[in-house]
Structures are given as structure tokens and as C-alpha cells.
Chains A and B, each alone.
Chain A
Amino acid sequence: AQSVSQHNHHVILSEAASLELGCNYSYGGTVNLFWYVQYPGQHLQLLLKYFSGDPLVKGIKGFEAEFIKSKFSFNLRKPSVQWSDTAEYFCALGAGAAGNKLTFGGGTRVLVKP
């Protein structure tokens, strides 16, 4: 069975601060990893994804994430946040070739103070 855990449930930052959200997964096989964002009142949107290759992936809006296989981690980062980054962030795991089933972490609510 696979699982995903996100360490922080709530994060409060000031604008221009750096952001790092932790994500760890449990699965013994090949993984595909995703970060999704849910802005207030909007639907889930893909920020970035890792399937293979360069473990440092860049996504939209200045976000990046690093896949560290030895640590079973896929942490999300942004060097300088803006008020518009206020949202809930979800890490998700897609495992193997058995179809499109995503296992989500519990989410991290990020509040950026202007």
C-alpha cells in the first residue's frame, strides 16, 4: 500500500519569505509524484510533476520540487512567496503502471501575509 504524508498542516509566512513544504511517501516501486494547489474557491491545479529524469523539477509560478529517492521525499520550494500564493498545497503519489490512482497527502494550508 502507498501513503503520503505532509509534515506541516498550516504555514504562515510574510511576503518575500521563502517557502518549503515537506512531502514524504511510502511505496516500494516506481513512483510518479505531483504537487497540486487549491486556491480559495478554485479547483485543484497542477503545480509540477516528477516522472523520471532530473530530480529537480520546475513548475508554474516559480515553484520547484526535488525528488530525493533515498529519503522518499518530494519537497516543494519557492524562494520568495507572494500574497497570491495563499492556498492549500497537496502532494500526491501515482504508483506504477496500474492506472491513474493518486494517493494524496493531507495538505498544507499556506497563508501569506501582505
Chain B
Amino acid sequence: KAGVTQTPRYLIKTRGQQVTLSCSPISGHRSVSWYQQTPGQGLQFLFEYFSETQRNKGNFPGRFSGRQFSNSRSEMNVSTLELGDSALYLCASSYGQTTDTQYFGPGTRLTVL
């Protein structure tokens, strides 16, 4: 099976812009989670979607949003970018509805100038 794929792999934006990141889960997986990885804060949970519904949300401002489509693909959007949003954004997919093994994609490296 193909792994989790994320596009684009690298992005450079300027403050105030918005960005959309995409994630395609492993075939058959219905849960998609997003994480932010930074040197200072480590890996932090953003949100999780299962069958197009957001099930969990981390402690991030409303500028961070996401959605999931009927084919389980997911997007996350960050509006009004700030310098502190520079990070590696990781997507993970899993099969089940309850806590399950998550498989991570390679991430999207976002740099905000």
C-alpha cells in the first residue's frame, strides 16, 4: 500500500497570507490527524477528522482549520499567517474510530517570511 502523502512538501509564504496543505491517507484509512512540529514546542496535535467530522481539536487559534472529504483526503488551512507558524506540518492516518496506530506522512515544511 502507498503511504501517507502530503503536498506540497515545501512552502514559502509571507505574513498575512493564507495557506492550504493537503494530505492523502493510506487507502482504507478513515481517520486523519494533523500535527505541528517545531524545535521549540515539539510535536503538537492540531485536529483529527474521521468520516468527514472533526472529532478532536488541539489548542490552536481559529486561524487553523481543516476539513476532510468523502474519500478521506484532508486539507488544513492556516489564515493570516504569522512568523510563528513556520513549522513542519505532519499528517497521520489510521484505520479505526478509537485510538489506533497512526502512520505519518513526510510533512509539509512551511516557512513564513
Contacts and interface: CB of A to CB of B under 8 A. Distances in A.
Given A34-B101, A49-B101, A101 B48 contact: yes
Contact of B104 (A32, A44, A106): A44
A106 B99 CA distance: 21
Contacts, number: 68
B43 to A, nearest CB: 4
A97 B56 contact: no
Contact of A97 (B48, B98, B106): B98
Interface in A65-114: 90, 92, 94-107
B31 A99 contact: yes
B8 to A, nearest CB: 15
Contacts of B101: 34, 46, 49
24 contacts: A32-B99, A36-B104, A43-B104, A43-B105, A46-B102, A51-B99, A92-B43, A96-B99, A98-B55, A98-B56, A98-B99, A99-B55, A99-B97, A99-B99, A100-B50, A100-B56, A100-B92, A100-B100, A100-B102, A101-B48, A101-B58, A102-B43, A102-B102, A104-B42
